[in-house]
Amino acid sequence: MTFLSPQAVGALCALGSAITWAATSLLVRTVCPPLNSVAVSVLRSLIGGWLLLAWVLATGGLAQLGAMSAGTFALLAVSIVLAIAVGDVLFFESARFLGLARAMTVSMTYPLMGAVLAAVFLGEPITAKVVAGSLVTLSGLALIVQTRPADGPHEDRTRLGLAAATAAAAAWAVSLLVLKPAMGSLDAVTAQAVRLPLAGLLLMATPWGWGAPAMMGRVSRGVLARVGLLGAITAASSVLFVTGVKFADIAVAAVLSSTAPLFAIPLGLIFLGERLTARAVFGTLVTVAGLALLQL
């Protein structure tokens, strides 16, 4: 019987994280408003984190939690603050200004940013495929950001959306570099059982997040149900992503997880009624192709 290699498992998990991230982004758009982006990040992190923590405790993982070193905990904390408290919140804000598919495509340039950061801080070479992938990716983005739907946002809102999406990509790229060395022998579920609750608690301590639990008492049952589903999908998505980072190369996991725009386009069209021109769709495909070139 043939089993998948660790690299193949990591690649499949990274692809799964892209699918679940597209679904997460869709659900967030349906609950903002009445909730704000920070409140949603607080709630989905806490719900997903407690689900994973309960699983770890129920399956005898308390010993691994107790054996975690201070250095590993610090790396997990820094990575999750960058990923969720900074990156995800900025991305959700950018989606309000740009629309789901365009915001997701711009923010999915984080593998390219990660490659540059790895070259600067880790001494990894910038090869011809990185240069080619960069040029194709930027060409795709040029097509996307030049597209203006008829009912699209005002010019100023577009600039804010592009800035927020780009900042989100930078935060995710740095988070990825911090997360990789923290994994070691730590399994993905245990790592996320630490990271997600920590992100939720840190966000709830901010002026924008401390009212998140109270907001839940003022929303409809439909919103409550979607927030609960959002927490469960967040738990699954985060475990898939971290498993991809653990078993696959960073670039492979990043590129495959960045295919989320391909899934966001039909989701945004079907459930949100977002209108995309042929140029926007083509630009999305070109952008993803450029990211894929990084792995040829």
pLDDT at 206: 82
Measured in degrees and rounded to the nearest 5, phi and psi for residue 231 equal -65, -40
- For the record, the structure tokens of 101 come out as 């598919």
Report percent pLDDT > 90 for the chain: 15
Distance from C-alpha of 129 to C-alpha of 133, rounded to nearest angstrom? 6
pLDDT at 103: 82
Distance from C-alpha of 167 to C-alpha of 151, rounded to nearest angstrom? 25
Low-confidence residues of the chain: pLDDT under 50 = 1-2, 150-151, 153
The domains of the chain are located at 6-293
pLDDT at 109: 80
pLDDT in tens, 47-82: 999 999 999 888 877 777 777 888 888 888 899 889
Residues 258, 18: contact at Cβ < 8 Å?
yes
CA atoms within 13 A on the CB side of 89: 24
